[in-house]
Amino acid sequence: IETRKKFLRSVVAIDNISKGGILTIQNIGVKRTLPGEGGCEPKYFDNLLGKIVKKYINMNDPITSEVIN
């Protein structure tokens, strides 16, 4: 199970997203992340669309509940 967690996919920024920006299909995607840097699970992708970002997110950073409203 621990090995499996290392290779799970997460929702990440596929482009830089400004503070106050809106999550869209053009700026978020699903990728494998580094161990310990996981974001929201891919099953929540559709729920994240349209959410407003609380802080600047760099490309390839995971999308977590702490960075969205």
In this prediction, residue 44 has a pLDDT band, given cuts at 50, 70 and 90, of very high
What is the DSSP-derived secondary structure letter of residue 32? E
Q: What is the pLDDT of residue 28?
A: 97
Instruction: Read off the pTM.
Output: 0.86
pLDDT of 2-32, one tens digit each?
A: 666 666 899 999 999 999 999 999 999 999 9
